[in-house]
Every structure is written in structure tokens, then in C-alpha cells.
A = this chain, B = another copy of it.
């Protein structure tokens, strides 16, 4: 009677940060909610209805991060909350809250699944977390069909949703926001580009390009990224001093820079490395990871992330996010189960 699928991702690990003790999901490094060491634990509901004539209606509701170590997280569909229409010939649109176009286009070049140990993010130059979040509220998104390997994605958020209440009292500095991205993928090669316009005066258009090539024994990737803000050190990832907003952390870091990554498969396992350099803010980050798949739905992981010349993650603020410490690191081992 109902075509709804319940799905989820559950991550629980043992971890630690440089000057901390081992514990469950300790050292996740990010938010107050310890919702996984590698991945964000979530549940969700999604469904599709066939409207005939190649047209489909679909929806997705995905919770925010769930903390399995304490269980103390209220369920709100803060990651995906949208309704969409999809046509065989013209692609798909969706209305509501969803992953940003930046996350959808550039996520594939972060080989450890844009994990909490992501070197890109720890150096403040991940296109996934532009503007402080991997999500966009009140967005109209369009995804094209696959044209010979090319998929185009676009997003639009109206100025009336960029502040104020119900479109009243919207700040004068607010602007309509546009995103445009494309990926060409053919055989071993993947190339992508993405840009997102400023949402308010004082910011700049963010853009990124990425490329990956699969040599079978190893897959390589490189990206270049310019964020929406200058590389103001007071807003950098793990700083949280003067300008750092508690709770949103380094996802508000500015700057620009480049990344390199490699991942090698070994049967059901893989091993990888990623390096990111924020040239404007002078931050470097290194990530080492390995995964072992017990099945298609369950894997074990070990992650290590380290920052250099960086104010970082061994002390925490009131939200459990990292404060200053020289050359910090976080290490963890755990299990991710999806359903």
C-alpha cells in the first residue's frame, strides 16, 4: 500500500584526539553531536510514485546526525526534506532542503566518503561544506539526464528565503543564490566543475574543479577550490577564536587551495591517503584511511587525520569542537552499517 523505504547509516567507533582519552566516537572532531567517527549516523524515509508517462513523484526525508554513543539526539529531517518530480526526458527537480550542488558534484573526489576525517574539510577547502554546511534550505534543484556521460546540476534559492521571516524583513544585503555544476564521467576519467554565487554582499562566488582517474590498481584525484570567504585565520576550521562561530566550526573557514588523493582497492578492502593545502590560510591536513567490507552494507574502518601548522582539535569548546593545539590529530576504528 505504501512504497516507502526506510533506510539508514549507523556508525559507531572508538576514537581519540591528541590529548584526549579513547571512547565511543571520541575525536569525531566536528559537532557537539558525536554522530559517528567516520560517517554521520542517520535514518531516513524515501519513496517514489509512478505518475505514468515516464513521470515520477519522489521524496526524501533524512534525519540529522544521530549519536549512537548516548542516543540523545532528537530526530529532525534536517539533511534531506524535499518533494520532487522526475521525467524520463528532461531530468528531475526537487523542492525543499537537500545536499548542496557542491556536495553532489564534488563529493566523489573525497575518497573516504567525505568522512569526518576529510583532509579537504580539515584544511577548510572542501566544496562540500561551502557556506558552513553541506545542505541548502529552501532550494529548487535541477538534475539533467545523463547526456553521453555529462550530468548538469543547478540550484536556486530565492532572496525571500535568505533571511527574514516568511519573506518579511529580508535583509537588503541578501541575494538570490544560484549554483551550477557539471560532471563528465566516462570509463576511468571523471571531471567536474561547480560554482555557487554569494548569498549576501561581502562574500564572493565560490568555485571548484576536480578530476579523478582510475588506474585500476590505484585511483587518483586532484581538486582546486576557492571558498566564499577570504582565508581569514580567525575563522579557520579548528580555531574558534575571535571570529569562529561556535557550532559551525571550520566549515566557515575561508581561503583557497588544492587537494590530492589516492585510493587502492585490495579485494573487499581499500587503503587511501588524502592531502589538502589551503594556500590562503596556510593550513595543511593529511588523512590516512582503510576500509574492509564485511558485506555490501557493513564495513570496518580505520581513519587518521592530522593537521600541520594549524590551530586545532585537541581541546574542545562548549560544543565539543576543537580549539587550539599544535599539529593535532584524531584516530579511530569502527563499523558502519547501512540498511
Chain A contacts to B: CB under 8 angstroms: 1-8, 10-12, 14, 16-17, 19-28, 34, 43, 45, 47, 49, 51-52, 55, 57, 59, 61, 64, 66-83, 85, 95-97, 135, 137-138, 158-161, 164-170, 294-295, 297-298, 314-316, 320, 334-335, 337, 339
Q: From residue A223, how far is it (CB to closest CB) to chain B in Å?
A: 28
Can you list 7 A-B pairs, Cβ within 8 angstroms, ordered by A?
Answer: A8-B45, A19-B168, A20-B170, A49-B337, A68-B77, A69-B138, A169-B316
Q: How distant is the Cα of A43 from the Cα of B70 in the complex, in angstroms?
A: 17
Q: From residue A17, how far is it (CB to closest CB) to chain B in Å?
A: 6
Across the A-B interface, the 4 shortest Cβ-Cβ residue pairs: A21-B160, A23-B160, A20-B167, A26-B167
Stoichiometry, as copies per complex, reads 3
Asked if B83 and A79 sit within 8 Å, CB to CB, the answer is no
B residues near A74, Cβ cutoff 8 Å = 74-76
B residues near A85, Cβ cutoff 8 Å = 335
B residues near A73, Cβ cutoff 8 Å = 76-77
Partner of A68, one of B10, B22, B83, B320: B83
Asked if A71 and B66 sit within 8 Å, CB to CB, the answer is no
